[in-house]
Amino acid sequence: MANNQPENQHPLHKTTSFNDAPKLDAVADDANLTPPLPPLLQTDAALKSLEDQDQNNQNQHQDQPQAREEKEKEKEKEEEEKKEVEEEENTKEGEENTEVEQSNNEPDLHYNLHTILEDVDQFLSTPHGSLDREEDSVVQIPQFIDKFLDLVDAKIEQYNNDESNAKEKECRVPEDESMFLEAVDRISKLKTAIHEMKLEEDKNSLINRIGNTQQRAISYLEEEFRFFLEESRNSDSDPAADTKGKQEQDRSALPDNESDQFQFPGYSDEIVNYLNKIAKQMISGGYESECCQAYMVARRNIFEDALLKLGFEKHSIDDIQKMSWESMEREIATWIRTIKQCATILFSGERNLVEYVFSSYPPMSASLFSNLTRGIMIQLLNFSEGVAMTKRSAEKLFKLLDMYEALRDMVPKMEVLFPEESANELKTETTTARTRLGEAAICIFCDLENSIKADTGKTPVPGGAVHPLTRYTINYLKYACEYRNTLEQIFKEHSKIERADSTSRPHFEGEQAPQYNSSIDNQSPFAVELTRVMEILDSNLEAKSKLYRDIALSSIFMMNNGRYILQKIKGSADIHELVGDTWYRKRSSDLRQYHKNYQRETWGKLLGCLNHEGLTVHGKVVKPVLKERFKGFNALFEEIHKTQSSWIISDEQLQSELRVSISAVMIPAYRSFLGRFSQVLDPGRQTEKYIKFQPEDIETYIDDLFDGNPSSMARRRT
Amino acid sequence: MDGAHEQELEDLELFQKHVSERFSDLLPPPPSDDISSDPILSIAWLRKLLDEFLCCEAQFKALLIMGRDPSQIVKPPLDRLVPEFLDRVVKALDICNAVLHGIESVRQFQKLAEIAISSLNQRPIGDGQVKRARRALNSLITSMAVEDKDFSNSKSTERAWSFGRRGGGGVSTGNATPQHKDRIAGQFRSLSWSMAKGWSAAKQIQAMSSNLAAPRGGESSSLPQTVYLMSTVLVFVMWTLVAALPCQERGGLPTNFPVPKQMSWAQSMIGLQEKIAEEWKKKEKKGSGGLLEEMQRMEKLSQSLIEYTESFTFPLEAERAEEMAGQVGELAETCKKLEEGLVPLQQQIREVFHRVVRSRTEIVELLEYTAKASSPIV
């Protein structure tokens, strides 16, 4: 019924026309003007129940605008019926109203923001004469429009006054928010509609009036928006700490099970909903820029605070260059943690939030999210750029690799998280930063070659023990091989870069690129480099072994170091695989060769003393020669014992292998020598003088060898 | 050796000639000349400057890295000059970052200006629109000033505007009380990203230029001259960027740094430096936002439009409306320039960043390699 009524027959039009309201222009300005209407407080309680209903409806339907529209249509029908009754009453009251209105101070108990919205809706849904069609008749503006604006103005005034002394209210969404938001919505719609209408009078003052109220209303909403973004978060929403209770609360209220991710932004559902509605009103009212800027500034500050809470602090690249390694190590650990938090919790939380708040405006939420995360990512990447530029040193390798891995693992997540456009840009930036880390890592790793080559000390390690360089290098390599996949990846990527860009790097081109290419047995570039380092270590050790004047000792030295290397390789499947079986077998046989050399060098001489040849002339033992032999043996054995018990073989197995193999040669030889010749000597003094050792003694003394305890024989004998 | 030496001298001369030509292209043409060129310190001009920088940088890198005698680089005086140069490069990287943040701020200024433009373009124009425009313009002016001021305390420790809940809505009135001004200032303190606490563009420029001295006497052979020339170009470009764009803590930015008056290649640079320094001094007096031509224009137009909005009464007279529309049109044109220019400028600065990092890495590697090659290895 109501819908079919021509607008100039609306009951209220008869009583007052738009022009009769002289206060229109005066009301326009600002908060210091007392609104003409009494405060709405008395009606608030009544409103509340209605609102609650309303809000429920809205909550149910806000993801389904279509359903909501339908619902609203139904509602409209119902209300139409209701209105017919009301209208009758209205006409009765009409006369009273005119009187009161003329005094410009009518209490108008009938109208409140809630009821008047229905009239506004009706006005909006009625077709009106359009500017473009001459035949259309001029639109009469109903008087309640003016009233409506008054009510909204008063409401804003009330809100503003409430707020200045309502700190205790803190972060509660105002109770009548949904009605106010609807009112703002109608204002925006009115503004658009009236622009199009053919109005009887100069429509500009009405447009001015509407624009003014809209500006005040939306400014208020903007403050609300900012305030709730800034202040309404759970104060303890430390992104790292899960607040279980909160999580569950969220889950029950939110439609999807991503709800637990809301814990980072840390707003309650009620507030997120409120923010969503405000954003909708601001944007549909044409205040998109203000809305986005407020959102961006607030969220950026909050996000940066979250990073700060994680311990991530900004450093200039200049400062990073000057940082001590200890503090850099700490900062790197924090950085890695931060990157991971961003990838797992923070970014997705941020994305959920922005998508929820700007749910009706996907391009806007995408651009806000990109801008925000881009800024954060650039900041994070900046740190890694700075670190990659610092002076290279061996101890940094593993931290750089950790960083490299963190960035590498970030990239696939970005593809999921970011809108395509910013994902591409950020992927490029991340890849660049990662490549720099990779390059630095490679330089450090390859620098191992140089530090091995540069280790040219002239002092041999006492006792032929494992050289510190061997320990250092092998342990370093072993540790590096824990990053095997990463290093393989870096080396592969790097060798590509090397080739692409080799003109500017003359020194690399000649030295390494061809090596990488000549992967004879399909070794990866990293494996090639690793083998290279091993070889360089080897030749360095060989040079070092020459520092020993005693050839036997230099064999022991080589054995010790070789054994150490093989044992370590045996213990690490990765290195073993990388160097390959062939290499391993070759090194084992090298070791056996050193063993043989040693045996020959030391024990070959001693065995010479036990040679039966030249002792007998015509089947008769020549005593003085025998005595000399015994003397020689004793002296030599004592000498060997003396020196070689101070030699060191720390590998127990090698030590016992050696002892066993020595005993296996010496004891039978000595025993048979003794058996054959001992009775030649006179028993007593002579025997005592020349046969100093029983075969068992020999065994005992051999067991003293390679213990690193010099001259123990004397001790034992006394 | 002599042949190589001669070649190096020739290279240096060529380098100097190029630098000199490039920078003289940047000089504003004499007023009598009516060839239109990009005004000094405009976005287009800055982009040209960065182009020149990238060219110089490429040429420099070629001269230094592809140098015929790499061992020179680890011998005096280069063993001191090159590390000094590398240190300047590091500082330049931070400046690039700070300037990128500055561009982000300019983009925010642009958005504010656009709010004002779209509000003031509405017809009929009413109080609401005017208020909205005034608010945006006030924010613009305030934040321009704020971006320029003390950044050192980050907003997380000091948030000047977290007074009263929701701020009493007074902002919508447009009558900015001192409190409101504070509030706006606080709000825009962090319109864009910031650098590390305590980082200061002025100090970095100071540090970059303090040990910048022309090599003398025996040291003035070709490579040291080349490094010195590149250092000067680097410092000049960074100094210009800092002067032009909002930048964290640039109060006390040196207005002159040593550019050798006697060198022919330096003449255009000296000319530019004097011009920019003059502008900078004016700016410091006024306390306005930055020397970027578009920003200055925006600031001027905004201030004048604020006056319009303050004296606005509804309905607007046709004559005033026309005047205002003219200014709004100009502001819109400036915004269009920003819209078109800021992204490319940003990308170019990013490119400068990456290029400089790349070269630095190569120089460092060359240094290390040469150092190792010249120390005996057994």
Q: Does A436 touch chain B (CB under 8 A)?
A: yes
Total CB pairs under 8 A between chain A and B: 173
The mean per-residue pLDDT over the stretch A512-527 comes to 58
Q: What is the pLDDT of residue A569?
A: 93
DSSP string, A450-467: HHHHH---SSPPGGG---
Q: Is the pLDDT of residue A56 over 50?
A: no
**Nearest 10 degrees: Cα torsion A523, A594, A661, A651:** -60
Cis peptide before B77 (omega within 30 of 0): yes
Separation CA A291–CA A274 (nearest Å): 14
Separation CA B126–CA A204 (nearest Å): 8
> What are A594-630's pLDDT values in tens digits?
999 999 989 998 998 888 888 888 888 888 889 999 9
Q: Does B203 touch chain A (CB under 8 A)?
A: no
Q: Which contacts (CB < 8 Å, 24+ apart) does range A652-655 have? A: A654/A559, A654/A560, A654/A563, A655/A706
Amino acid at A370: S
List for chain A the helix, strand, coil content (%; round to 5): 75, 0, 25
Half-sphere exposure of A123 (CA within 13 A, CB side): 28
Which residues touch B103 (CB under 8 Å, ≥6 apart)? B245, B342, B345, B346, B349
A residues 297..316 contacting B (CB < 8 A): 297, 300-301, 304-305, 308, 313-316
Question: Mutating which of A318, A327, A430 best tests the B interface, going by the most B Cβ atoms within 10 A?
Answer: A318
Gap from A543 CA to chain B (nearest CA, Å): 9
Subunit contact B124:A227, Cβ cutoff 8 A = no
**Nearest 10 degrees: Cα torsion B241, B246, B251, B254:** 10
- Decide if A211 contacts A29 (C-beta within 8 A): no
Q: Does B204 touch chain A (CB under 8 A)?
A: yes
Residues of B in contact with A231 (CB under 8 A): 162, 165
Q: What tokens were used for B45? A: 């001009």
B residues 59..78 contacting A (CB < 8 A): 61, 65-66
The mean per-residue pLDDT over the stretch A195-200 comes to 71
Subunit contact A375:B360, Cβ cutoff 8 A = no
Subunit contact B354:A28, Cβ cutoff 8 A = no
Subunit contact A389:B156, Cβ cutoff 8 A = no
Residues of A in contact with B369 (CB under 8 A): 507
- Any alpha helices (H) in chain B, and if so which ranges? 2-26, 43-65, 78-120, 127-148, 178-189, 201-210, 222-244, 267-286, 293-310, 318-374
Residues of A in contact with B346 (CB under 8 A): none
For the whole model, what pTM was predicted? 0.79
Q: How many CB atoms lie within 10 A of CB B29?
A: 10
B residues 34..53 contacting A (CB < 8 A): none
- Any alpha helices (H) in A103-176, and if so which ranges? 113-125, 143-164
Q: Does B108 touch chain A (CB under 8 A)?
A: yes
3-class secondary-structure state, position A61: helix
Helices B127-148 and B178-189, interaxial angle, to 10°?
60
Separation CA A52–CA A506 (nearest Å): 76
Best CA proximity match to B260, nearest among B292, B228, B284, B305: B228
A residues 28..57 contacting B (CB < 8 A): 28-32
Half-sphere exposure of A162 (CA within 13 A, CB side): 16
Tell me which residues of chain B have a pLDDT lower than 70: 1-4, 32-36, 67-68, 147-190, 218-220, 287-289, 374-378
Which residues touch A46 (CB under 8 Å, ≥6 apart)? A112
Separation CA A186–CA A451 (nearest Å): 77
- Any alpha helices (H) in A254-287, and if so which ranges? 269-284
Q: What tokens were used for A4? A: 């079919």
User: Could you say which DSSP state residue A610 is in?
Assistant: T
> What are A573-599's pLDDT values in tens digits?
899 999 889 999 999 999 999 999 999
Q: What is the pLDDT of residue A238?
A: 44
Residues of A in contact with B114 (CB under 8 A): 289
Q: Is the pLDDT of residue A255 over 50?
A: no
Subunit contact A215:B127, Cβ cutoff 8 A = yes
Nearest to A316 among B94, B190, B354 (CB): B94
Residues of B in contact with A131 (CB under 8 A): none
Q: Does A235 touch chain B (CB under 8 A)?
A: no
* Mean predicted lDDT score pLDDT of chain A: 78
| Chain A, nearest residue to B101 by Cα | A375
Separation CA B47–CA B57 (nearest Å): 15
The mean per-residue pLDDT over the stretch A697-714 comes to 80
Nearest to B372 among A170, A385, A450 (CB): A450
Separation CA A629–CA A680 (nearest Å): 13
* Percent of all residues in chain A with a pLDDT value above 70, rounded to a whole number: 72
Residues of A in contact with B356 (CB under 8 A): none
Residues in chain B: 378
- Decide if B305 contacts B328 (C-beta within 8 A): yes
- Decide if A400 contacts A408 (C-beta within 8 A): no
Gap from A57 CA to chain B (nearest CA, Å): 28
Q: What is the pLDDT of residue A517?
A: 41
pLDDT band at A132 (very low <50, low <70, confident <90, very high): low
Helix (H) or strand (E) holding A621: strand A620-621
B residues 289..348 contacting A (CB < 8 A): 314-315
Q: Does B167 touch chain A (CB under 8 A)?
A: yes
Higher pLDDT, A694 or B94: B94
pLDDT band at A183 (very low <50, low <70, confident <90, very high): confident
Separation CA B24–CA B20 (nearest Å): 6
- Decide if A338 contacts A310 (C-beta within 8 A): yes
Best CA proximity match to A159, nearest among B179, B172, B163, B168: B168
Separation CA B203–CA B217 (nearest Å): 30
Question: Mutating which of B66, B134, B172 best tests the A interface, going by the most A Cβ atoms within 10 A?
Answer: B172
Q: What tokens were used for B116? A: 């004002």
| Chain B, nearest residue to A304 by Cα | B156
Q: What is the pLDDT of residue B122?
A: 86
Residues of A in contact with B107 (CB under 8 A): none
pLDDT band at A240 (very low <50, low <70, confident <90, very high): very low
3-class secondary-structure state, position B211: coil
Residues of A in contact with B206 (CB under 8 A): none
Best CA proximity match to B191, nearest among A371, A328, A75, A338: A371
The mean per-residue pLDDT over the stretch A542-567 comes to 94
Whole-Å CA distances, A112 to A37, A102, B282: 10, 19, 57
Separation CA B357–CA B363 (nearest Å): 10
The alpha carbons of chain B give a radius of gyration, in whole angstroms, of: 24
Nearest to A456 among B93, B354, B378 (CB): B378
Separation CA B248–CA A19 (nearest Å): 55
Subunit contact B169:A160, Cβ cutoff 8 A = yes
pLDDT band at A39 (very low <50, low <70, confident <90, very high): very low
**Strand-strand pairing, A620-621 and A616-617:** antiparallel
| Chain B, nearest residue to A536 by Cα | B378
Separation CA A367–CA A241 (nearest Å): 29
Helices B43-65 and B222-244, interaxial angle, to 10°?
160
Best CA proximity match to B142, nearest among B124, B158, B160: B160
Q: What is the pLDDT of residue B346?
A: 95
State the complex-level ipTM.
0.89
